[in-house]
């Protein structure tokens, strides 16, 4: 579990090094803890979740205040990253290994 600050030029890898368990799988929780737009103040950016070992589109985008929970099979090394399209994003995460 932890917290990350990311940006478009500073993608962060979520530590999901899974050791054994059920086929190297884990449950991953990510929440965009950034500010929602209020009173003329712009919202913090969406968090883009991606698996950089796969050259396809990102897995999903999480708006400020939203969260996601999904299963993830990282194998021996994690390639799950969080970043933004622009600006600075704030998120928290939790990785639960399936054993």
Q: What is the pLDDT tens value at each position of the chain, 99 positions in all?
A: 889 999 989 888 887 566 655 566 788 899 999 999 888 888 999 999 998 766 678 889 999 999 999 988 766 666 788 999 999 999 999 988 877
- Please tell me the distance from the alpha carbon of residue 91 to that of residue 29, in angstroms, as a whole number: 10
Cβ pair 6, 50 in contact under 8 A: no
Supply the DSSP symbol for 10: B
Cα–chain-centroid distance for residue 26?
Answer: 14
Supply the DSSP symbol for 19: -
- Please tell me the distance from the alpha carbon of residue 21 to that of residue 37, in angstroms, as a whole number: 41
- Sorted by sequence, the CB contacts under 8 Å of residue 70 that are 6+ apart come out as 27, 28, 59
Supply the DSSP symbol for 89: E
pLDDT of residue 48: 94
pLDDT of residue 69: 95
pLDDT of residue 85: 92
Cβ pair 27, 69 in contact under 8 A: yes
């Amino acid at each position: 579990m932890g917290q990350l600050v990311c940006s478009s030029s500073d993608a962060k890898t979520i530590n999901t090094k899974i050791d054994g368990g059920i086929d190297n799988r884990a449950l991953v929780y990510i929440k965009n803890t950034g500010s929602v737009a209020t009173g003329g103040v712009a919202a913090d950016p969406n968090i883009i979740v991606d698996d950089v070992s796969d050259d396809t589109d990102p897995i999903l985008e999480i708006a400020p205040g939203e969260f996601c929970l999904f299963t993830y099979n990282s194998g021996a090394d994690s390639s799950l990253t969080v970043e933004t399209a622009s600006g600075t994003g704030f998120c928290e995460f939790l990785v639960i290994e399936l054993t």
